[in-house]
Amino acid sequence: MALINGLYVFCETEEVNQNVEVSSHPVESGIPLSDHAKRGPITLSIAGYIVGDEWENTRHRIEQMKKNAEIVKYIGRNVLSSMLITGFKTSSDSSIRDGEKFTMELTEIRIAASPYTATTGDVGLQQVQESAVTQSEELKKRTHTVKKGDCLWKIAKSYYGNGSQYPKIVEANKDLIKDPNKILDGWVLVIP
């Protein structure tokens, strides 16, 4: 027995396929160079029977899941979630009473989250404008209070990753800093 989103089916076979795609580049001699590998989607091929008093309803529900591209969870010998039914075939013969044979293909999917939020108007433009306002506000608000042992080089290195960027701090605080070699504890410096 197996479950597809809670629907019981009898599975005789399950075949799982897990591919890895590898890019390769030919070289003058030897094996090609590979510089990238990525996992492909898992595919599951199952075959079995839909049987029981509700077999027609089960078949109809599976057909609807395929038609509507409904994400399904499969629980059988393997347990797989985030799957789509990409193939579904049924066949009937006189040997099966109250049911039919089926084959099914399930393919793993991954859904990307949208960077947009539900608002009115031009969402893309609104996000760019909000982002620009937020960034400029952050730059205006970013300050550093000078502590004992601080020097402009050390402060620049902590904010920019490079001490030689200290002239940016001097320029932004030219009303306060007259000599870059002399800064006093307690000064609040604007960090551009």
pLDDT, one tens digit per residue, over 74-85 is 999 999 999 999
Cα–Cα dist 159/144, whole Å? 10
Residue 80 and residue 108 in contact, taking contact as beta carbons nearer than 8 Å: yes
pLDDT, one tens digit per residue, over 157-171 is 988 899 999 999 999
DSSP string, the chain: -EEETTEEEEEEEEEEEEEEEEEEE--SSSSPEEEEEEEEEEEEEEEEEEESTTHHHHHHHHHHHHHTT--EEEESSSEEEEEEEEEEEEE--TT-SSEEEEEEEEEE--PPPPS----SS-HHHHHHHHHHHHHHHHHHH-EEE--TT--HHHHHHHHHS-GGGHHHHHHHTTTT-S-TT---TT-EEE--
pLDDT, one tens digit per residue, over 98-143 is 899 999 999 999 888 777 665 555 555 555 555 555 555 555 568 8
Instruction: Report the pLDDT averaged over residues 28-55.
Output: 90
pLDDT, one tens digit per residue, over 139-156 is 556 889 999 989 999 999
DSSP string, 3-43: EETTEEEEEEEEEEEEEEEEEEE--SSSSPEEEEEEEEEEE
